[in-house]
Structures are given as C-alpha cells and as structure tokens.
Amino acid sequence: MKIIVCIKQVPDTHEVKLDPVTGTLIREGVPSIMNPDDKAGLEAALRIKDSLGAEVTVITMGPLQADVMLREAMAMGADRAILISDRAFGGADTWATSLTLASGIRRLSYDLIITGRQAIDGDTAQVGPQIAEHLGIPNVSYAESLQVEDGHVIVKRQYEDRYQLVKAKMPCLITALSELNKPRYMTPGGIFAAYREKEVQLWTVDDVEVDREQIGLKGSPTRVLESFPKSIKPEGTKIIPDTEEEAAQYILDRLKEKFVF
Amino acid sequence: MDFTLSKEHEMARLLFREFAINEVKPLAAEIDENERFPVETVEKMRQTGMMGIPVPREFGGQGCDTMTYILAVEELSRVCGTTGVILSAHTSLAIDPLMQYGTPEQKEKFLRPLATGEKLGAFGLTEPNAGTDAAGQQTRAELDGDTYILNGSKIFITNGKEADIYIIFAMTDKSKGTRGISAFIVEKGTPGFTFGTKEKKMGIRGSSTYELIFTDCRIPAANMLGREGRGFGVAMGTLDGGRIGIGAQALGLAAGALDTTIAYVKERKQFGRPIAKFQNTQFQLADMATRVEAARLLVYKAAHLKDAGKKYSMEAAMAKLFASETAMEVTTKAVQLHGGYGYTREYDVERMMRDAKITEIYEGTSEVQRMVISANIL
Ligand SMILES: Cc1cc2nc3c(=O)[nH]c(=O)nc-3n(C[C@H](O)[C@H](O)[C@H](O)COP(=O)(O)OP(=O)(O)OC[C@H]3O[C@@H](n4cnc5c(N)ncnc54)[C@H](O)[C@@H]3O)c2cc1C
C-alpha cells in the first residue's frame, strides 16, 4: 500500500512571539520543527508500514530550508520525500497551498493520504480537507486513532465530548491529531541514510500541473485582518445543586447578572 | 580547515539532545539518589538505535562513525553522567575491541547482539593489584582441551552486573609478562562466573560498578579475542578509543554545568540585581565557556582522527586529560556560582560535580594520560 503524508515546517511556537505592533509572527532566530500534528500523521503512517508494509512518501510545499525536515522524516523511516518549492508559490494561503499540494499529489499514486489537523503557525485546519476536495476523495478529520483493514480505514474521530467511529474506503484522506500517538525518534543510522543514500526530490512550478493564477500570493483570496495570541479561557465554576429547580435558578441568576435577561 | 559538523552530525546531535532532555534528564537525580541502574533508559536507547552507533549495518549496527557516537555520549552526559558512561563502556570498551579484533564468527555471535542493543557489554581489566599498572594481571587462564579455565577477580567494572558480554583479560603465560596476557569474551551465566560487591560511589551512582569473580570458570577457546599473548595490546588499543568516550562524557558534564549555571545566574538576585551582573560572575563564565569549547575541539579532533583511520592515541589522551580536568574545574565553579544552593541535591550542579571527578580517574588517571602524552613527544 502507498501512503502520502503532508508535512509542514513551522516555527517552534514554544519559542515564538508576536510582534506587539504589527501582530505578525517574529520568526527570526526561532528554531523550525516538523508541525506536531503532521509528525503524528507520519508516525501513524510508519506504524502501518511496520505492521502491514507500506511505502511512505512525505511531501511539503515550502522554502528550500524545508529540506532538513524532509530528511528528518526519512530518518524516522519515510521512504521518499518531495519538496515543492518555487518563488511562485510564495505567500500562499490555504486555498493556494492545498491546490498546489493536490497537484503534486496527482503525480503520485496513493491509497491513503494523511495530513495533520492544523499547523501551529496558522491554526486553520483547512489544508487537509481542501486537498481531499481538490482530489475528489473522502476526508475523515480529527483522527485520534487509526486502523487499516482490507481496503478501509477505521478512524476514531475526536469531538469535544464524544467520538465517532468512521469506516472509510480507501483512497481517502485523514487529518491526524497529535494525540494519535507518540512519534518515534529518528535513528542515527536513519539520519546517515537520509543524507547519504536518499534524495529529496525537488519539484518547481514547472513540475506540477496547476493554474498559475491560483498559486502563491496572487492565487490567495484570504486576507488576514488581525493576528492575536490565544487568550486562555478561565476554567469556569462547577457547582452541584441538589435539585433541578435549584440548578435552573442558579443559571437564571447568572444570566441576569450578565444582563442576558 | 573546517570546524563545522556535517549536516548528518548536526541532525544526530539534535536527536541525542531531544532524547536526553525527554528521556534521560527526568531520571538523573532519582537514579543518583537511589543508586539505580536505569534499565528503562537503556531499553529506549536500544529502540532508538543508540547502542550500536559506529557498528557497520552488516553486524546490526547503525553504520555511523565515532563522531556520531561521541555526540551521543556528550549529549547524554550533559544531563546525566551515569547514562553517558553506560553508553561509553558498552560502545568503546566492549563493541570496539570486538570490531577491531573479533573473528567473523565472534562478530556474528557477540558483536551483533551488542550492536542491536539486545545485549549490554562490559570490560574487565582492573584488579585489586592491577590498576594503573594493568600489566600486573593476576587472573589466570589455563588451557584445558578446547576450553580455558579462568580464575581470579576483577574490580570496579562498569555495567558490572547489568552486562551480558564481558571482555576479560587474564594471564595465559605468567613467565612472559605483558606478552603473557590474553583477552577473552565471557558471557554472563557461564558457570564459575559470579559477582562480588557493588561499589558505593561518590558519583555516577546509577552506573553498576561491580566486582567480577571467576572460579574455575570454563570458557570455549574460541572465545579468545585476538591472538594468545596479545591481550595487553587489545586492552591498550581499546582504552585509546575509550578515552575519547570518557573525554566526551567529561565534555558533556562540563557543558551541562555551564548551561545550568548560565540560566541560574540570570535568575538569582543579590544586592538588588541578578548575580549575572557582577563582573566576577561574567569572567568566571567566560573562562568556563572557553575551557568547554577547547575541550570540545580536542575531543572532536581525536574522534575525527579515529574515523579517518589515522593514529590518535596521543590526541585521545590529550582530549581525555583536558576534558576531564575541565569537567572538574567547570563543575566546581558552577557549584560556587550557585552558592549554598549548589551544595544541595535540589540543584543538578551538585551531582555534576560528583560525577565529574571519576573522569579524571577511570580509563587511565590524568597522570597516566600525561605519561602517554609525554611518551609520544619525548
Ligand atoms: C567508577 C569506576 C568505574 C571503573 N570502570 C572500570 C571498568 O569498566 N573496567 C576496568 O577495567 N576498570 C574500571 N575502573 C578502574 C579504573 O580504571 C582504575 O581505578 C584506574 O585505572 C586507577 O587504578 P587504581 O584505582 O588501582 O589506582 P592506582 O593505580 O592505585 O593509582 C593511585 C594513584 O597513583 C597514581 N599512580 C599510579 N602509578 C603511577 C605512576 N607510575 N606515576 C605516577 N602516578 C602514578 C595514579 O595516577 C593515582 O593518582 C573503574 C574505576 C571506577 C572507580
């Protein structure tokens, strides 16, 4: 079976700060890492490879520096790596990115595509499902567990307070949560092989069939109005009233306090 | 001349650092306090391919080199000296002589399980009366048919009780002096091979340091490592490489103490400001950082020479001498800059200073390194 994993190089947000004036990310001097959800997706693919046998290809759209992340993926056990990189792709929003990635993926054969749920530098969670739309294949998002069974995937799909068990026929795309697993470490020998025996294939705009009007900044309809750090929600109060009436009264009082009524 | 590490070495360092911080650091104080060998860490190192870093893939290793292995010992020791020496004794003192002197059959049988990490290695040269004067071996090995019968004991053996495969030195012909010493591969569980006392130590307290006792212990003649009478050469050749490993352990300890101290002096306030603002603090740290960097260059150079297949005996001795004295000096200064807090077990530098001392003693004391160096230049 053939698995494609989409991975993105992101600034390590543990160490990243927002510029208080412009509201944009200060990326200088911040180490780059493989996006955590994507890494979980890669680990899921590698586990399928370990148990059932599979060829795992990692693909990214990004600057040439993303080479190091692709080598890391191969040092963990990915078989092939593809870097889609060209100035023409610069400034892409999720639409242009997913279109570009989908056009790259069309050049490959696959049974399963795994992406992370969202990238920690954008938090949109759009690229994975959009790729599935472009390719016309089913998409199961928010996978917190994943199994492969004769031509199907069985995915436990996470919600805030419950989960869904979804069985989908391959080919399909799933988006992975970092809760899916604990990714393995690279191995020293894997690192040597990634640099000395394997290659990162570089695809430019000429190597993918994509409408040039729909890529890069030009092809990006999204306008970011404002970026701001996530505010932490307070924990909330828990009370255990004796009767239902008491509970209703309590809620009513709080709503009145907040002038809802 | 280029002082930068290759991309693969840089990435390997990142791997080892991440592993050390996530898996090793959280245990460092506890295994020291309880004198507990960290079996779970060794198992994780096995899964991560760290137990056979310089071994060719055909023998189950990772197919990397000495430099990569040295980076692993450095990064582990940066957070835990015990874990650093477990890997160093296993790789430098058990794997390396098997790679250098083992027959194809011995490599298949003993090197492979060591390289995959299925088994752990140890090295037994030191005896109660043969320390610095390692030639004074009293353990005997007598040939009887196709077995050798071992009698005697070894002390201070790292990975002592936890290991499975031991490289042991013994006299096969007392009349020939150093030319009468031979090396053997001994497996745990061989009848007549038992363990004596466990040392209670100042530092590297999680490492398992034991006495090994051989009483009419029969080992197959096929387990002789290298030729008969050439054991002293095997031991000295092995220790040359081992010194780069201990140099890396010392380097890691010094670098770790420096990291910790830099963070501490920015936090700790006296006289209304962080102690980092005092010029004495700054100058101490400058000296510490300079010594650490010099030690690093010596250790990496020795590793580089070994990988290039060049002579490295003197450079290994220099690296070990300078790095271990650096470790002692830097950790001592680190405790000083922590004040009273640095003298307590609440702070890592207390353990690091205790761990550093051994690097000036094992695999040849600093005095022995000076002998090796001077013998090379006179
Ligand atoms: C924690 C620990 C782990 C160890 N692990 C191992 C192991 O895995 N395998 C193993 O085989 N051994 C191991 N050793 C033994 C170690 O290598 C020896 O302790 C070391 O070589 C010194 O020998 P010694 O203790 O007998 O000291 P001695 O030889 O008695 O030395 C005492 C002092 O005299 C000095 N000295 C001796 N001879 C001379 C001389 N000619 N000129 C000047 N000064 C001299 C020494 O430098 C030292 O300062 C370990 C020791 C310890 C403490």
**Closest B-chain CA to A185:** B48
- Residue closest via CA to ligand 1's atom 17 equals B362
- Of all atoms in ligand 1, which is nearest to the CA of residue B89? 8
Per-residue pLDDT band at A16 (split at 50, 70, 90): low
pLDDT exceeds 90 at position A259: no
- Residue B59 contacts A, CB cutoff 8 Å: no
pLDDT tens digit at each of 378 positions of chain B: 889 999 999 999 999 999 999 999 999 999 999 999 999 999 999 999 999 999 999 999 999 999 999 999 999 999 999 999 999 999 999 999 999 999 999 999 999 999 999 999 999 999 999 999 999 999 999 999 999 999 999 999 999 999 999 999 999 999 999 999 999 999 999 999 999 999 999 999 999 999 999 999 999 999 999 999 999 999 999 999 999 999 999 999 999 999 999 999 999 999 999 999 999 999 999 999 999 999 999 999 999 999 999 999 999 999 999 999 999 999 999 999 999 999 999 999 999 999 999 999 999 999 999 999 999 999
Nearest-Cα residue of chain B relative to residue A190: B62
Lowest mean pLDDT among A14-28, A226-240, B83-97: A14-28
CA neighbor of A163 nearest in space, from A178, A176, A186, A145 = A145
Q: B158 alpha carbon to ligand 1 midpoint, in Å?
A: 13
Residue B54 contacts A, CB cutoff 8 Å: no
> What are the C-alpha distances in Å from B30 to residues B25, B35, B161, B355?
10, 8, 20, 14
Is residue B363 annotated as part of the catalytic site, yes or no?
A: yes
Q: What are phi and psi of A131, to 5 degrees?
A: -60, -45
Residue B43, chain A, CB below 8 Å: the answer is no
β-pairing verdict for A55-61 and B224-225: unpaired
Q: How many angstroms separate the CA atoms of B75 and A218, rounded?
A: 46
Q: Look at residue A256 in the predicted model and tell me its pLDDT.
A: 87
Query: Cβ separation of B8 and A186 shorter than 8 Å?
Result: no
CA distance B48 to chain A (A): 5
Nearest CA-CA partner of B215 in B133, B166, B149, B128: B149
The alpha carbon of B365 and the centre of ligand 1 are apart by a number of angstroms equal to 6
**Is cis: bond before B128, omega within 30 of 0?**
no
Query: With 80 as the cut, is the pLDDT of residue A122 above it?
Result: no
Q: What number does the ligand 1 atom closest to the CA of B364 have?
A: 21
What global pTM score does this model have?
0.92
**Which one of B5, B6, B8 makes the best mutation probe of the A interface by having the most chain A beta carbons within 10 Å?**
B8
| Most distant CA atoms of chain A, gap in Å | 72
Residue A21 confidence class, pLDDT cut points 50, 70, 90: confident
Instruction: Give residue limits of the domains in chain A.
Output: 2-214
Closest by Cα among B314, B183, B310, B293 to B244: B314
Neighbouring C-alpha atoms within 13 Å toward the C-beta of B361: 12
Distance, in angstroms, between A72 CA and closest chain B CA?
Answer: 8
Fold of A2-214: Rossmann fold (3.40.50)
Place of tokens 């399980």: B113
Q: Which residues of A221-235 are buried (b: 16+ CB within 10 A; e: fewer)?
A: eeeeeeeeeeeeeee
Alpha-carbon distance values, B145 to A112, A120, B173, B184 (Å): 63, 69, 16, 16
Atom 12 (ligand 1): residue with closest C-alpha? B126
Report residue B343 CA to chain centroid gap.
26
Write the pLDDT tens digit of every residue in A123-168: 788 888 999 999 999 999 999 999 999 899 999 999 888 999 999 9
Average pLDDT for A77-94: 93
User: In this model, does residue A238 exceed pLDDT 70?
Assistant: yes
* Sign for the pseudo-dihedral over CA of B93, B246, B9, B303: negative
Nearest C-alpha in A relative to B22: A185
Q: How far apart are CA A77 and CA B378, in angstroms?
A: 51
CB-based contact (8 Å) between B11 and chain A? yes
The pLDDT score that the predictor gives to residue A22 is 67
Give A65→chain B minimum CA distance, Å. 13
| Cα distance between residue B292 and residue B299, in whole Å | 10
Nearest to A188 among B6, B18, B50 (CB): B50
Which of helix, strand or coil describes residue A98?
Answer: helix
Q: Measured between CB atoms, does B68 come within 8 Å of chain A?
A: yes
Sequence letter at residue B222: A
Span A188-224, pLDDT tens digits: 999 999 999 999 999 999 999 988 888 888 888 888 8
Pocket of ligand 1, beta carbon within 6 A: B 89, 123-126, 131-132, 156-158, 201, 209, 358, 361-365, 367
- Structure-derived torsion over alpha carbons of residues B361, B362, B367, B368, reported in degrees to the nearest 10: 170
Most B-contacting residue of A33, A191, A196, A199 (CB-CB within 10 A), to test interface: A191
Taking the CA of residue B159 as reference, the ligand 1 atom at the shortest distance is 8
Q: Give the pLDDT of residue A93.
A: 87
**If we measure between CA atoms, which residue out of A208, A164, A175, A227 comes closest to residue A23?**
A227
ipTM over 0.85: yes
A24 has a pLDDT exceeding 70:
no
Biggest alpha carbon–alpha carbon distance for chain B: 79
Asked if B49 lies within 8 A of A188 by C-beta distance, the reply is yes
